[in-house]
């Protein structure tokens, strides 16, 4: 235990690049982020479904059933971060943004990036 007036030794956290707070450390996973612009079909449906969500302890995930299952995590819908949203809330926000055929910007990332 430290006595009164003694300072703790400073041991800064270092990243792989060796510099705390370097862009390489903070942005390594962001290189895989994609922006996708979607619009709903005339009947209001989308070409994918949403699974996961915070109610399952997961990120919301976009699923296309007709092709090989790839895990694509949904980060933002129309600039709104959806990490921590339940699956129901993600679907509700997505439907709200897609109403009237408006184009919607999604930010996604493939699993494992």
Alpha-carbon gap, residue 57 to 54, rounded angstroms = 5
Q: In the prediction, which pLDDT does 42 show?
A: 86
Q: In the prediction, which pLDDT does 94 show?
A: 93
Closest CA to 61 of 47, 69, 50: 50
How far, rounded to the nearest angstrom, does the alpha carbon of residue 103 sit from its chain's CA centroid? 19
Q: Which domains does the chain have, with CATH numbers?
A: 45-110 (2.30.42.10)
Per-residue pLDDT of the chain (113 residues; tens, 9 = 90+): 556 666 666 666 555 555 555 555 556 667 789 999 999 888 888 888 898 999 888 899 988 766 556 788 999 999 999 999 999 999 999 999 988 888 999 999 988 75
Annotate 17-44 with b (16+ C-beta within 10 A) or e (fewer): eeeeeeeeeeeeeeeeeeeeebebeeee
Q: In the prediction, which pLDDT does 101 show?
A: 85
Q: In the prediction, which pLDDT does 86 show?
A: 95
């Amino acid at each position: 235990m430290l006595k009164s007036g003694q300072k703790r030794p400073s041991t800064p956290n270092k990243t792989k690049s060796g510099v705390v707070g370097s862009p390489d450390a903070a942005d390594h996973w962001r290189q895989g982020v994609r922006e996708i612009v979607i619009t709903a079909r005339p009947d209001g449906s989308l070409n994918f479904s949403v699974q996961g969500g915070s109610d399952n302890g997961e990120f919301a995930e976009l699923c296309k059933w007709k092709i090989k299952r790839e895990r694509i995590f949904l980060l933002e819908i129309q600039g709104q971060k959806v990490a921590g949203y339940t699956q129901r809330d993600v679907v509700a926000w997505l439907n709200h943004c897609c109403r009237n055929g408006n184009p919607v910007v999604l930010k996604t990332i493939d699993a494992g990036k």
